[in-house]
């Protein structure tokens, strides 16, 4: 008997993960049916995706984007329902006729739609690491009551998930996250003071959206991933270590109590972890180049330089403090990255700004969405005020 196709809703379909997910899912039309799509403002790309996969529901950021999308589509676009705003995203994430939600909206904007999917008991292929960073406790509690599952898409977490298969959780000693080191690996603080957004956006191995690419350059991406691993695999934060591995071939490792270390390797292509999340526990014959270790010859590993890249330790500090502090770390980081990308903040001030916002925060329990959102709002306002102050100093520095 032919098995029923898995019905997918892809949140963030117009982004880097979203487009890769479309490629994987469309490559296996007998396995997957894309029934929901959600994007921010890129209605042109979304309209193409709608023509290609004919979903039943889509959502965009606001009413204006919904009207713009309508204009891009041929008249009388079948049974398609168009929603907008957070409520619209949550509807696309929680429809009864959806089996799996791919959570790939960037940043805290992905929180409520992801929670809606978890609350509805969906399997969630999770790329949006920020959700677990800011609301790990709430998500964990929800999963316990709904029986839904999180399938990691983030390459390191997919590697760990794969390395855990068939082994007892009680035998895990440490998780070893690998980090490429980003485009500024080996640079000094002095070198970093004047780097441009253009240079920071040139990731050595991965092609990704702008926010995560800057996070890779500051090592905040790895800090967020430490917190993500803590919640996803239920291990203490201090049992998650980071090794710089500039080749991005070993995607992460699990060290067991008997001294065995199990790693997952592959070419740096997100189609691999995406396909595993979509098809788990099966494996799909995805179109990616074979890993040629003979051509590579060597794989290298270094300790992270936390003096030059302080964001990693800020994330460990936030995770140890717990409560609302990781939400504050994340919101301050999103504000700082945005300011850096628009030329209002120096690269080295990203970490300095986050540290100042964290120092000013009184930690609260992060046991409700309301408390998390309040902390997020406060951190953004505080960070913006600091950016406005720093901007004047930065302008003067650039004009000097
Ligand atoms: N790219 C990668 O390889 C990896 C990404 N991740 C994680 O996956 C997530 C997505 O990353 P990536 O695909 O690179 O990001 P992109 O910037 O490429 O894409 C972001 C997506 O989110 C949408 N979006 C942006 N802002 C909003 C908003 N306020 N409301 C609703 N939708 C919004 C965008 O819509 P539009 O463009 O239409 O405005 C787009 O579809 C991030 O959390 C990232 O950390 C994790 C591992 C690897
Ligand atoms: C592809 C992926 O999972 C990214 O999170 C990647 O890990 C970023 O590279 P860095 O290792 O440089 O942070
Ligand atoms: Mn990653």
Q: Is the pLDDT of residue 400 over 70?
A: no
Tens digit of each residue's pLDDT (9 = 90 or more) over 314-355: 999 999 999 999 999 999 999 999 999 999 999 999 999 999
d(CA 239, CA 258): 16
For 299, phi and psi rounded to 5 degrees? -120, 135
pLDDT of residue 78: 76
pTM above 0.90, yes or no: yes
What are the domain boundaries of the chain? 6-152, 153-306, 322-400
Ligand 2, residue 155: give the atom nearest the CA.
Answer: 3
Predicted confidence band at 2 (pLDDT cuts at 50, 70, 90)?
confident
H helices within 238-365, ranges in order? 271-279, 293-296, 311-321, 325-341, 347-359
Distance of CA 246 to the CA centre of its chain: 20
Residue 182 Cβ < 6 Å to ligand 2: yes
Find the mean pLDDT for residues 158-173.
Answer: 98
- Give distance in angstroms: CA of 213 to centre of ligand 2: 8
Q: Look up tokens 């049916």; give the residue.
A: 33
Q: What is the rounded distance in angstroms from the CA atom of residue 176 to the CA atom of residue 43?
A: 39
Q: Is residue 397 very low, low, confident or very high in pLDDT (cuts 50, 70, 90)?
A: low
Q: Tell me what pLDDT residue 389 has.
A: 87
**For position 394, what pLDDT does the model report?**
61
Total residue count of the chain as it appears in this document: 400
Residue nearest to atom 2 of ligand 1 (CA): 208
Of 178, 134, 87, residue with least CA distance to 367: 134
Q: How far is ligand 3, taken at its centre, from the CA of residue 129, in Å?
A: 9
Q: Residue 278: which of 16, 53, 26 has the closest Cα? A: 26
Report yes or no: 106 and 333 within 8 Å, Cβ to Cβ: no
C-beta of 222 in contact with ligand 2 (< 6 A): yes
Strand ranges (E), 14-95: 32-38, 57-60, 81-84
The pLDDT, as a whole number, for residue 75 is 81
Angle at 221 between CA 216 and CA 222, to 5 degrees: 105
Distance CA 287, CA 49 (A): 20
Instruction: Say how far apart CA 158 and CA 225 lie, in whole Å.
Output: 12
In this predicted model, what pLDDT tens digit does every residue of 106-161 receive, in sequence order? 999 999 999 999 999 999 999 999 999 999 999 999 999 998 899 999 999 999 99
Which residue, among 277, 290, 268, has the nearest Cα to 25 in the 3D structure?
A: 277
Average of per-residue pLDDT values in the chain: 97
DSSP class of 179: E
Name the architecture of domain 6-152: 3-Layer(aba) Sandwich (3.40)
Residue 232: per-residue pLDDT: 98
16 lines ligand 2 (CB under 6 A): no
Pick the CATH number of 322-400 from 3.20.20.140, 1.10.1740.10, 3.40.50.970, 3.50.50.60: 1.10.1740.10
Is 79 annotated to bind ligand? no
Q: Cα angle at 242 between 196 and 237, to 5 degrees?
A: 115
Would you state the pLDDT for residue 126? 99
The H-or-E segment that residue 265 falls in is strand 261-265
Confidence of residue 396 (pLDDT cuts 50, 70, 90): low
Q: Which tokens go with 331?
A: 């919101």
> Quick check: 179 pLDDT over 90?
yes
Tell me: the pLDDT tens digits for 247-304? 999 999 999 999 999 999 999 999 999 999 999 999 999 999 999 999 999 999 999 9
Tens digit of each residue's pLDDT (9 = 90 or more) over 351-391: 999 999 999 999 999 999 999 999 999 999 999 999 998 76
CA of 396 to the centre of ligand 1 (A): 33
Q: Answer yes or no: same fold for 6-152 and 322-400.
A: no
């Amino acid at each position: 008997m032919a098995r029923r196709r898995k019905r997918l809703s892809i949140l963030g379909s117009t982004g880097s993960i979203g487009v890769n997910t479309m490629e994987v899912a469309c490559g296996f039309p007998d396995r997957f049916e894309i029934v929901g799509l959600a994007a921010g403002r890129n209605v042109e790309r979304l309209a193409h995706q709608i023509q290609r996969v004919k979903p039943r529901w889509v959502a965009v950021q606001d009413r204006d984007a919904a009207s713009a999308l309508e204009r891009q589509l041929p008249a009388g676009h079948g049974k398609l329902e168009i929603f907008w705003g957070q409520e619209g995203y949550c509807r696309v994430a929680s429809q009864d006729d959806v089996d799996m939600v791919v959570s790939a909206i960037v940043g805290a904007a992905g929180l409520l739609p992801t929670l809606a999917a978890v609350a509805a008991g969906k399997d969630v292929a999770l790329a949006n690491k920020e959700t677990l960073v800011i609301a790990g406790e709430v998500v964990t509690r929800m999963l316990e009551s709904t029986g839904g599952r999180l399938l990691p898409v983030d390459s390191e977490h997919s590697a760990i998930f794969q390395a855990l298969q068939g082994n007892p959780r009680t035998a895990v000693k440490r998780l070893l996250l690998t980090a490429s080191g980003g485009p500024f690996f080996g640079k000094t603080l002095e070198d970093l003071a004047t780097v441009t957004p253009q240079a920071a956006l040139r990731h050595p191995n991965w092609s990704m959206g702008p926010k995560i690419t800057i996070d890779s350059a500051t090592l905040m991406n790895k800090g967020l991933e430490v917190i993500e691993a803590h919640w996803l695999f239920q291990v203490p934060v201090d049992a998650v270590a980071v090794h710089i591995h500039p080749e991005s071939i070993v995607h992460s490792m699990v060290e067991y109590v008997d001294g065995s270390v199990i790693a997952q390797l592959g070419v740096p292509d997100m189609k691999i972890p995406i396909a595993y999340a979509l098809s788990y526990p099966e494996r799909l014959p995805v179109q990616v180049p074979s890993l040629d270790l003979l051509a590579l010859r060597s794989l290298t590993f270094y300790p992270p330089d936390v003096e030059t890249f302080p964001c990693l330790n800020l994330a460990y500090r936030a995770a140890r403090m717990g409560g609302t502090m990781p939400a504050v770390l994340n919101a301050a980081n999103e504000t700082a990255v945005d300011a850096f990308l628009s030329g209002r903040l120096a690269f080295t001030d990203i970490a300095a700004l986050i540290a100042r916002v964290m120092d000013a925060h009184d930690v609260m329990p992060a046991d409700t969405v309301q408390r998390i959102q309040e902390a997020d709002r406060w951190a953004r306002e505080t960070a913006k005020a600091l950016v406005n102050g720093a901007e004047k100093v930065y302008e003067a520095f650039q004009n000097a």
